[in-house]
């Protein structure tokens, strides 16, 4: 192994505990971890976001398909699965979506927009965005349940977490004291691992349909990223949550179009 390869592997700096760190950050699962150490490796753990998404998708799929199997109407099964995901994640991404819609939609200065995004109250823009996205996700879940496709839930969960990693690498922080800032900087090797991991998980789950699904999920987040760049000159944790929600809708739209 040459020096370049050794340096590249050293830059990866992966650890098994990164998966637990990623779960601690993105979910409410009570994992027995050293929170101080997982906090230190928060940025390194970004490579594991697709794994967290895949497992959350698996859980949602099992809940939805089990309910449908015992006779619960598919629409109700879809709603319960989405509600379960909100419970498991603490509605982290949904909160981010509504906050960034309120912040980017209102305020006349960067500082004011950031203040709105930090406010726990929800406004008209946030409520409208949240309602539209939940309705779109519900419709997509309903379609996937109808064809009894558990693997689609896994693929969508993994693909929808990848844009967060890409944004963390490609965009500057808009606020130095928010949740996103505490995670730290994501390096190019971490982005590469997350991308390859997403591709592997999705291809194993749904075959080559994974390629257009991942591509569309990532591209769908570009308008929000462009707006964040224009309005607050960077990203926050709320922007990351908004990207996950938009990517999930885009991934579901791609699969249901094929279905």
Task: For residues 53-57, give the mean pLDDT.
Answer: 98
Query: Which pLDDT does position 45 carry in this prediction?
Result: 87
pLDDT bin (cut points 50, 70, 90) of residue 197 is very high
pLDDT band at 108, cuts 50/70/90? confident
In the predicted structure, residue 117 carries a pLDDT above the cut 80:
yes
Predicted confidence band of residue 209 (pLDDT cuts 50, 70, 90)? very high
Question: How far, in Å, CA of 164 to CA of 26, rounded?
Answer: 11
Residue 216's beta-bridge partner residues?
Answer: none
Please state, rounded to an integer, the average pLDDT across all residues of the chain: 89
Examine the pLDDT at 9 and tell me if it is beyond 50: no
CA separation for the pair 8, 149 (Å, rounded): 38
Q: Above 60 in pLDDT, residue 11? A: no
User: Are 93 and 245 contacting, i.e. CB atoms less than 8 angstroms apart?
Assistant: yes
More confident: 77 or 174: 77
Binned at pLDDT 50, 70 and 90, residue 2 comes out as low
Residue ranges of the domains in the chain? 16-258
At residue 107 the predicted structure's pLDDT band, cuts being 50, 70 and 90, is confident
**Range name among 6-15, 83-92, 180-189 with the lowest pLDDT average:** 6-15
Give the pLDDT of residue 191. Answer: 94
- The residues, ordered by sequence, that sit 6+ positions from 22 with a Cβ below 8 Å of its Cβ are 45, 46, 48, 49, 51, 52
Q: How far apart are CA 243 and CA 220, in angstroms?
A: 8
| pLDDT of 6 higher than 70 | no
Which is more confidently placed, 92 or 120? 92
Instruction: List C-alpha distances in Å: 145 to 60, 124, 148, 257.
Output: 11, 31, 5, 14
pLDDT at position 178 is: 62
SS3 160: coil
Measured CA to CA, the distance from residue 108 to residue 56 in angstroms comes to: 38
């Amino acid at each position: 192994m040459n020096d370049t390869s050794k340096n590249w592997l050293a830059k990866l700096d992966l650890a098994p505990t990164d998966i637990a760190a990623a779960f601690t950050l993105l979910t409410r699962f009570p994992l027995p971890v050293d929170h101080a150490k997982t906090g230190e490796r928060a940025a390194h753990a970004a490579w594991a976001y697709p794994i967290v998404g895949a497992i959350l998708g698996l859980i949602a799929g099992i809940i939805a398909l089990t309910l449908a199997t015992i006779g619960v109407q598919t629409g109700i099964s879809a709603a319960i699965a989405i509600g379960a995901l909100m419970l498991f994640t603490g509605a982290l991404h949904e909160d981010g979506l509504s906050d960034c819609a309120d912040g980017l939609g209102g305020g006349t200065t960067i500082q004011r927009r950031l203040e709105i995004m930090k406010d726990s109250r929800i406004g008209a823009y946030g409520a409208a965005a949240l309602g539209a996205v939940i309705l779109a996700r519900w419709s997509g879940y309903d379609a996937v349940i109808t064809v009894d496709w558990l693997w689609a839930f896994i693929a969508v969960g993994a693909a929808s977490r990848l844009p967060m990693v890409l944004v963390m690498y490609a965009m500057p922080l808009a606020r130095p004291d928010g949740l996103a800032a505490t995670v730290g900087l994501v390096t190019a090797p971490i982005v590469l691992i997350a991308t390859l991991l997403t591709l592997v998980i999705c291809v194993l789950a749904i075959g080559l349909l994974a390629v257009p699904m991942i591509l569309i999920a990532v591209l769908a987040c570009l308008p929000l990223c462009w707006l964040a760049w224009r309005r607050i000159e960077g990203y926050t944790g709320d922007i990351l949550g908004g990207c996950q929600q938009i990517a999930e809708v885009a991934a579901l739209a791609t699969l249901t179009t094929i279905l």
